[in-house]
Amino acid sequence: MKWRLLDFLYPAICELCRKRLDHGRALCRSCANNLPRISEPFCKNCGEEFDGNLEEDFNCQNCLNLTHDFKFARAPLRGLENSFRLVHTLKYHRRFFVAADLAAFLQEAWEEDPRFREFEENCLIIPVPLYWRRQQWRHGNQAHELARELAALIEQPLSPALKRVRSTQTQTRLSRKERLSNLRGAFVIRKSQAKRLRGANVILIDDVFTTGATAHECTRILRHQGRVAKVAILTLVRG
C-alpha cells in the first residue's frame, strides 16, 4: 500500500540512468551491477582497495602508524562518481526510499566477507547518529535508514545505541587528527540500550568511510562505555 501510493506520487525511476523501474525503488539492475565494487586486494583495516595482484601482505598508506579500535572497516562500493551520487541523493534530497536498494550492497559485503561471520552471534546493528538539529534539517538520518534496511535484510537486531550530544563543525577540510579532537565528547550511549550493548558484536553503519575518525570515536564509546565485545564498520562507500 505504502509503495503503491509512492508509485503514484513518484513513478519509480533509476537514480543513475533515469529509466523507469519495474522492481525496486532506486536503481535498475544494470546500474546496480555496474557500480564499482571493492574486491581483493583491499586493506584489512580500512577497506581501501589496491590495484593489481598482491600476493604478500602490504602496508596501507592510510593505516600506517594508526591503531583502530574497531576490528576492520569494510565498504562494498568504491568512492567513484556514481557511488557518491547515490549517497548524496540519500543524504541531502530526503529520498530515504533509496536506502532500501542501497542496503542490498551492504548485505553483499556482509555475506561475502568471512570476517563478518564472527559477528553473527549476539549481533547489533548500530547507525552513526546525527545531531538532532541536523537530523531535523535533513528530515532523517541516512545512516539510520541504511542500518534499518540492512537489519531487516540480514535478520539481525537494530539498536539506536549511540546518541550525538553535540554538533560538530563540518569535517571535510580537517585532517584526521583535527577530526578526532573535533569529535571528542560528541557521542554518548543511550541509557535505554545499555543492557543490550554489554558483550555485543556491533556492526556500525554509516554512508561513507573517509579517514575513519567518526568510526574510531564511536567505537571507543561503544567499547569503553557500552562494554561491547567488538566492533566492525560497514559503510556503503570507501571515500
Binding site for Zn ion (CB under 5 A): 14, 16-17, 28, 31, 43, 45-46, 48, 60, 62-63
Cβ proximity to Zn ion: between 58 and 92 the closer is 58
Alpha helix positions (H), the chain: 2-9, 29-34, 81-92, 98-112, 132-138, 142-154, 176-183, 194-197, 213-224
Cβ proximity to Zn ion: between 77 and 186 the closer is 77
Task: Give min distance, CB of 64 to Zn ion, in A.
Answer: 8
Task: Give min distance, CB of 17 to Zn ion, in A.
Answer: 3
Task: Give min distance, CB of 59 to Zn ion, in A.
Answer: 9
CA 225 to chain centre: 22
Q: Under the phi-then-psi rule, with left for phi > 0, alpha for psi from -120 to 50, and beta for the rest, what region is 225? A: alpha
The DSSP bridge partners found for residue 78 are 238
- Residue 67 carries which DSSP code? -
Cβ proximity to Zn ion: between 17 and 165 the closer is 17
What are phi and psi for residue 202, nearest 5 degrees? -100, 135
Cβ proximity to Zn ion: between 49 and 178 the closer is 49
Task: Give min distance, CB of 35 to Zn ion, in A.
Answer: 10
Q: How far is CA 30 from CA 8, 34, 106, 145, in A?
A: 24, 6, 18, 24
Packing angle between helix 81-92 and helix 98-112, nearest 10 degrees? Answer: 130
Cβ proximity to Zn ion: between 2 and 20 the closer is 20
Task: Give min distance, CB of 123 to Zn ion, in A.
Answer: 24
Closest CA to 77 of 38, 112, 23: 38
Cβ proximity to Zn ion: between 48 and 207 the closer is 48
Task: Give min distance, CB of 20 to Zn ion, in A.
Answer: 10
Task: Give min distance, CB of 31 to Zn ion, in A.
Answer: 3
Cβ proximity to Zn ion: between 63 and 174 the closer is 63
CA 54 to chain centre: 27
Closest CA to 231 of 119, 66, 94: 119
